[in-house]
Chains A and B, each alone.
Chain A
Amino acid sequence: MGQEKEKALFQQEEISGGQQLPMVHVASLAELPSGMLAAVWYGGTAECAPDVKIFYSEREPYSSWSAPHAIMTRAQAEKDMGRPVKSLGNAVLLANPDGSLRLIFVTIAMGKWSGSQLNTCASKDGGLTWSKAERLTLSPFFNFSELVRNRPIPMVGGGWCVPVYQEFLGKFPELFWLKEVDGKLTETKTRIAGGCSSFQPSLVPLAARRAVVMLRDYTSARKIFLSRSEDGGVNWSKPVPTNLPNPDAGISGLRLSDGRLLMAYNDSTTDRSNLSLALSGDEGRAWKKIAVLENESGKSFSYPYLLHSSDGLIHMAYTWKSKQIKMVSFNEAWIAKQEAEYGIP
């Protein structure tokens, strides 16, 4: 008896709902052990503005997103940390196996992104209340300027590997290893590359000790870069350009169930007017485009964030024209259908 073929599924929805903010940006997703999806993003009048808040919304499987509510404001961050904060920025959400959530978020102390730091707080009631935020000291020079953006990876035995990057004198990618032992956080870092090279790493584990990171370009190459580790993320190869373009914009990658890699990216060297998907069957060496999800000249579709949920669906949250946080969800059958449409054998 032949196996029943999975039906291709694709759907698009708004996460930020009825929010009428001049700017929303940089969404991240997490799946709770119950199967619920949670999302965080920031919004306000403009990037680095004092009124920027971090918003949270959640969704039961096959349900709609809850009304967004602010889980971190500038005033709350100032109160928690006992010092002035200029603004808030990127945030990522970690869902622990016990159902608790951890938020890692950027605060800007002065200037713009180069004057930022990372902070963290936790929620044990599904995002309703959050612990006092605490500052993470991850950089030697006045703790400037460490940022977070892409999907954290849970580690075997507990803890998280969080892709981070610096934007002070140079822009370069790092990994931040976070563990919580008896309520106390322990941390360390690994550098992927130095200098003014590439940043905003998207980490994709391939096997127990092997992984790749895809990197946003900060050179004149205008390509997505890729680096490999064969020792559990301790040492990384020199980043090399892939065949995918990059207009100095955020990317996101993940590994499909058949081992191939999926990348969400802006298919341009100059702007963010389209958002596309590409597949690689050789661990990131060569990529083939399989879909264009958004395409409108002069508009911006950016900062994709991919998540593979336990029900087999792939979700991608992204910033839609800076006005909304949208999400597309699809399954691997839809990817196969797209491959056929694009003539990929």
Chain B
Amino acid sequence: MNMELTHQIYAGLAPWFALSLLLLGRSPHPSRTRIIGSLLLGFFLLRIPVGGWHLFAWIRVLEPNPSFTLTALLAVALWHRISYGKIFRAQDWNAAWLFGSLAALTLYPMGLGLTSFDPFVWGWGEFSPIATTLFASILLLRGNRFGIILLLTPAGFLLHLQESQNFWNAVIDPFYAGFSLIAGAVLLSRKRD
């Protein structure tokens, strides 16, 4: 399979999972028909032609590199909605939001020019995948399942599933950053209360 097709298929997973989640709605135990219908409808919605291109191509204009963390978290959320088994507990989600907030606050302000230092360059070095693997191992040793998702980032990066060659794109994207900052702020405000 050529790399361009690999990149396209991988980049389609996150929007497919997100659309399917939206279509499943808030019902706590959706029927099998609804689950299959939502997954299929999500898939076909991405293929709706808009201005000569599939909707997916327009999404890819905005974000060609959904992070492995976002894709995996959406997969976990989807699994929680369509099955009775829970993979993630509250502490695992909290770790995901806190990690996402920290990564976002480290990367985006300086990466977009706040200072003359650019942390985005770390993503082209060997340090970032190693540091992420170490951090994931610590989480796993502490029994936190978000560590498994973090371990997927160097794996996906080494497999070149993304168009980007920068490891930051494997770890975080603006959507995951946005969710994390909102959820992180909610967590902090709850702790204060």
Contact = CB atoms under 8 A, between A and B. Distances in A.
Interface of A: 82-84, 109-110, 135, 137, 139-143, 166, 168-170, 172, 174, 185-196, 236, 238
The CB with the most chain A CB atoms within 10 A, among B51, B52, B166, is that of B166
A238 B118 CA distance: 15
B58 A84 contact: yes
Given A135-B163, A141-B108, A141-B174, A188 B124 contact: yes
B153 to A, nearest CB: 15
Contact of B112 (A169, A185, A193): A169
B111 A140 contact: yes
Interface stretch (B31-39, B40-48, B60-68, B91-99): B60-68
Interface of B: 4, 8, 51-53, 57-58, 60-65, 107-108, 110-118, 120-121, 124-125, 163-166, 168-169, 174
Contact of B116 (A142, A187, A192): A192
A238 B21 CA distance: 49
Contacts of A168: 112-113
B113 A170 contact: yes
Contacts of A174: 118
A189 B120 contact: yes
Given A82-B57, A193-B116, A195-B116, 9 more contacts: A109-B62, A140-B107, A142-B63, A142-B174, A170-B112, A170-B113, A194-B117, A196-B113, A238-B116
A186 B166 CA distance: 10
- Looking at chain A's contact residues, is the secondary structure mostly helix, strand, loop, or mixed? loop
B57 A140 contact: no
A238 B116 CA distance: 9
B65 A109 contact: no
10 contacts: A82-B4, A137-B169, A141-B174, A142-B63, A170-B113, A188-B125, A189-B121, A190-B118, A191-B117, A191-B118
Given A142-B174, A190-B121, A191-B118, A83 B57 contact: yes
Nearest to A135: B163
B126 to A, nearest CB: 12
Contacts of B110: 194
B45 to A, nearest CB: 17
Contacts of A82: 4, 8, 57, 60
B124 A187 contact: yes
Which 3 residue pairs are nearest across A and B when measured between Cβ atoms? A137-B164, A170-B113, A140-B111
A169 B64 contact: no
Contacts of B115: 194-195
A186 B165 contact: yes
Contacts of A84: 51-53, 57-58, 61
B65 A194 contact: no
Nearest to B164: A137
A187 B63 CA distance: 20
Contact of B165 (A110, A187, A196, A238): A187
A201 B43 CA distance: 45
Nearest to A177: B124
Contact of A140 (B53, B117, B168): B168
B165 A169 contact: no
Contact of A195 (B8, B60, B113, B168): B113
A188 B121 contact: yes
Contacts of B168: 140
Nearest to A168: B112
B165 to A, nearest CB: 7
Contacts of B63: 142
A135 B163 CA distance: 8
A72 B116 CA distance: 34
The CB with the most chain B CB atoms within 10 A, among A166, A191, A195, is that of A191
